[in-house]
Amino acid sequence: MESLRTIEIIGTAAFSIAGTFAAMKKRLDIFGTFIIAFVTALGGGTLRDVLIGEVPVKWLFEFSAGFVVLVSTIVGLSFRSLISNYHNVLLFFDSIGLGFFTLVGIQTGMSLNMHPVSCVALGTITACFGGVIRDISLSNIPLIFQKEIYATTCILGGAVFFILLKLDVPKIPVEITCLVTIVVFRLLSVKFNWHLPRIWKTRKPSS
Amino acid sequence: MESLRTIEIIGTAAFSIAGTFAAMKKRLDIFGTFIIAFVTALGGGTLRDVLIGEVPVKWLFEFSAGFVVLVSTIVGLSFRSLISNYHNVLLFFDSIGLGFFTLVGIQTGMSLNMHPVSCVALGTITACFGGVIRDISLSNIPLIFQKEIYATTCILGGAVFFILLKLDVPKIPVEITCLVTIVVFRLLSVKFNWHLPRIWKTRKPSS
Amino acid sequence: MESLRTIEIIGTAAFSIAGTFAAMKKRLDIFGTFIIAFVTALGGGTLRDVLIGEVPVKWLFEFSAGFVVLVSTIVGLSFRSLISNYHNVLLFFDSIGLGFFTLVGIQTGMSLNMHPVSCVALGTITACFGGVIRDISLSNIPLIFQKEIYATTCILGGAVFFILLKLDVPKIPVEITCLVTIVVFRLLSVKFNWHLPRIWKTRKPSS
């Protein structure tokens, strides 16, 4: 439980900072920036909890998550003048959040004795859908649907998690390997421009 | 129950193929295409189940729906090179899905002893909102809000369903008539460019 | 309870008319206009009820809310030819709805013995998210994220509500002051172009 809380805090902080920089790119005001940071950080977990019936959602009663978002937003805003490349900062914190929140979602599924496939689905939803809501709110095409490998990274990390677990690797190394796999794979895939095959080679698509 | 399953499978397959072709028009990669097929096929039913409190949602525990989406996506991708008009294929399978999922939603409402108006509302939500989520995700203006008759077709089909039921027509012919009404009316309305009256005749609207 | 119903009806009617004029600006057909009015009026409350687990959502069983939307849409459509400035009408009714629905959300939270911060969050969600769904559906950038003070107005009104309550002001004057604060502050903020500080002064933002 305590370990769950720590990874939740790190994931929330990372996604809040990613959301703050995404909002800055669109010139939102301070309050709009906070809301975007909030939905980026808590949107995926909220969708997960609604889908599994874990309502009322926790952040309506416990303010720790909202507090982490607030502090992270302020930190992100404070450091903006030191940063010359918003996009790289966004990418870095987004990758951290992706790893930690995939793990949070997998653990949520395991605590409900769900099938590994369901656990990985919950991990992917937790990690990816905050960013989807953020991108739709900012009128961007969601990152998840663009050419970059995104949700696939979460599924890969989830597969690593359950394969190692089957091999009787202890829980802490399994979690760390899952985390590192996702963060590193995500960063490498952007740096080297890896992408999945597209399906429109045979013709020029319409509109 | 068995009959419900069969119509669910057909609706899921049809909407998955429609989603696959919508994703192809936007040049998504293979995984993005699968996700779009998934939300098109299961998004409406998921929203319905969340609104009526039927959670955890079924597809998190039973993988048959996800399997149908996967197979349908692969079939859609395999046949793409034989097809010269993505738009017509999308329209055809979308119409099939519209009919079957309206029926699924109506049956869900009836199994909860809901009022016919509520049943038709659930049928319309089940049939239409997967496509709304698909269109918003792909940054298209949702089909449902464009000039074509769309949600109205589901309501028409639902009205036919409950009128025939009141007239003591047996259940199977009622279901088939409802299905045929929706699919045929949808295809005809596109072919002959039927549309509801707009409300902006008196002035040139601003932006 | 009776007072809750009255403010719900006024809020629903105001947001329906706001939604109707937003739909007219986009030239939707009659049914699309009704759907937009419906999601504008009931979307925020629906999200609130899903987040706190108050499902099945009420409007699936009680048709009074849908009836208010229908009548308001017809009224909005009927008066359109008398109106020369859609934008001002939209703004006026949106402000009324914002005030009444913030109050509805606060009362929902209080009836569940929630913390004042949670009550204000529920009020803000109830008041703001119908408009967010409306704007995303119409492919507009949500008003809440633009430069105008919007959600902040709800939070201000909520703060006024709980400060007066702590000072032992009776309930009815507290509610009226909260309402007036929100509506007047919203209208003034648009008229005098008030806005929160932005955070992009130091550099020209990318894309």
Residue-wise pLDDT for A63-103, tens only, equals 999 999 999 999 999 888 777 777 888 889 999 999 999 99
Across the interface, of C146, C199, C202, the residue whose CB is closest to A30 is: C199
Per-residue pLDDT at C203: 45
The answer to whether the Cβ–Cβ distance between C141 and A136 falls below 8 Å is no
**Which of C108, C110, C96, C124 is CA-nearest to residue C15?**
C96
List, in order, residues 6 or more apart from B176 with CB less than 8 Å away: none
Residues C53-68: tens digit of each pLDDT: 999 999 998 899 999 9
The answer to whether the Cβ–Cβ distance between A27 and C200 falls below 8 Å is yes
Per-residue pLDDT at A199: 60
DSSP states along B127-167: HHHHHHHHHHHTTPPPGGGSSS--HHHHHHHHHHHHHHHHT
Per-residue pLDDT at A205: 46
Which residue, among A47, A50, A145, would best test binding to B if mutated, counting the most B CBs under 10 Å from its CB?
Answer: A145
Query: Band of the pLDDT at B147, cuts 50, 70, 90?
Result: low
Per-residue pLDDT at C148: 66
Question: In angstroms, what separates the C-alpha of B205 from chain C's closest C-alpha?
Answer: 6
Task: Specify the range with the lowest mean pLDDT, choosing from B134-138, B159-163, B203-207, C92-96.
Answer: B203-207
Per-residue pLDDT at A186: 92
Give chain C positions within 8 Å (CB) of B198: 27-30
Which chain B residue is nearest to residue C33, measuring alpha carbons? B145
Radius of gyration, alpha carbons of chain C: 17
**Which of B74, B44, B72 is CA-nearest to residue B59?**
B44
Per-residue pLDDT at C166: 96
Give yes or no for residue C198 having a pLDDT over 70. Answer: no
Question: In angstroms, what separates the C-alpha of B36 from chain C's closest C-alpha?
Answer: 18
Q: What is the ipTM of this complex?
A: 0.87
Query: Band of the pLDDT at C138, cuts 50, 70, 90?
Result: confident
The total number of residues written for chain B in this structure: 207
The answer to whether the Cβ–Cβ distance between B35 and A117 falls below 8 Å is no
The answer to whether the Cβ–Cβ distance between A205 and B32 falls below 8 Å is no
Which chain A residue is nearest to residue B84, measuring alpha carbons? A203
Give yes or no for residue B173 having a pLDDT over 80. Answer: yes
Per-residue pLDDT at C4: 54
User: What is the average pLDDT score of chain C?
Assistant: 88
Query: Band of the pLDDT at A203, cuts 50, 70, 90?
Result: very low
